[in-house]
Amino acid sequence: MSETALPKDDVRPVLDAPADLPVETAPPAVEQRRGNGLAIVALLLGAAGVAVGGWGVWQVRHLQANNQQQLSQVQALNDQAQSLKLNEQRLTARLEQMPAAEELDARSRLVTQLQGDQQRLNQRLETVLGASRKDWRLAEAEHLLRLASLRLSALQDISSAQALVQGADEILREQNDPGAFAAREQVAKTLVALRSTEQPDRTGLFLRLGALRDQVINLTELAPEYKDRGESLLGLTADGDGASRWAQWWDQISRYIRIDFNADKNVRPLLAGQSLSQVRLALSLALEQAQWAALNGQAAVYTQALAEARDVLKSNFNPDNPQSKVMLEQVAELSKQPVTVITPDLTGTLSTVQAYLERRNVNAEESVKPLAKPAASTTQEAMP
């Protein structure tokens, strides 16, 4: 717009100038326009050059960055190539150290053979361990039968012997062996015999005899003596009178004289003082001896001790006395109680079980001998 305004201002002086002067208008405007256009073109060219230069710099930097990235990638690839080369060298070294294919085949066959031998050895070990456990259990059954026989012979303890024999029978049943039929049959017969045998109550007899011993001290009293309780007038007389002397005389004579209205019956003398204590001691000792015999199963001693106690009661105490009569009846009743019992004999049962154990051991030894030879040959093959 400035270029179009300038010619209008220049035209006015030209119109006002004299006619004789020449008018020059066109050349300066053209030159000024050309100069402005050249400046603009130069500016545009400079801007384009700057843009081209900036774009070139950016391209250079971009190329440098790409080049640096490619260099790092190349370095990484070189490193990977080096590591691959090292791995290849290691693998090559290992392959060189590895045996040949024939040797590998031989070793694989040897490993297979060793695995088979190990399985067979494991099976044999399990068989041996199982047999040893069964042998331990059978030895326990034999020991139980021995204990039962000892309890019967020494203590005549039917209950304990029955429990022990029952335990031995359960062990034989666990074996599930047809060869143990004879042993189990004998054990069953022993159990039936023990169950049909009655166990004497020795503890009860011991306690009952002890109760009788406690009653011995109160069995009888001393000879009755006259005691002045105010019931007689003789006790009211003063000392020095004839009546008082009569009372003293009656007091003395009443210790030795007893009036019995049943004179036709057998009269027993009343014991007094030391004689009564000795009789009580003899009766207590007889009952104590019977206690010991009942507890230890001594039938002869038990019967003899109760017979002595019965004789002491009959010969020294009045049978009409309620206390002595009840004690005599109890002694007679206890003398009929058994303290011993005929126990079954466990010798045959123990012998049968022992024979079964011997046959089992012989069969086990015969089965183990053939298995020992392959094991020896296998070890000889493995040694080379």
Read off the pLDDT of each residue in 323-351 and give the average, rounded to a whole number.
Answer: 89
**pLDDT-based confidence at 371, cuts 50/70/90?**
very low
pLDDT for residue 349: 92
**pLDDT-based confidence at 68, cuts 50/70/90?**
confident
pLDDT for residue 23: 47
* Residues 222 and 269 sit within 8 Å (Cβ to Cβ): no
Q: What is the pLDDT of residues 279-314, one digit of tens each?
A: 889 999 999 999 999 988 888 999 999 999 999 888
H helix runs in 196-267, sequence order: 202-216, 242-253
**pLDDT-based confidence at 20, cuts 50/70/90?**
very low
pTM of the model: 0.47
More confident residue, 24 or 301: 301
> Which range, of 63-72, 132-141, 264-273, averages the lowest pLDDT?
264-273
Q: What is the pLDDT of residues 188-226, one digit of tens each?
A: 999 999 999 888 888 899 999 999 999 888 876 444 444
Integer Cα distance of 84 and 351 in angstroms: 82
> Which range, of 14-28, 140-154, 183-197, averages the lowest pLDDT?
14-28
Q: Is the predicted pLDDT of residue 48 greater than 60, yes or no?
A: yes
Integer Cα distance of 122 and 368 in angstroms: 14
Q: Is the predicted pLDDT of residue 318 greater than 90, yes or no?
A: no
DSSP codes, 99-139: --HHHHHHHHHHHHHHHHHHHHHHHHHHHHHHHHHHHHHHH
**pLDDT-based confidence at 27, cuts 50/70/90?**
low
Phi, psi of 285 (to 5 degrees): -65, -40
Q: Is the predicted pLDDT of residue 344 greater than 80, yes or no?
A: yes
* Residues 341 and 197 sit within 8 Å (Cβ to Cβ): yes
pLDDT for residue 292: 92
Read off the pLDDT of each residue in 114-121 and give the average, rounded to a whole number.
Answer: 82
> Which range, of 18-22, 48-52, 69-73, 315-319, averages the lowest pLDDT?
18-22
Q: At what angle do helices 101-154 and 347-382 cross, to 10 degrees?
A: 170
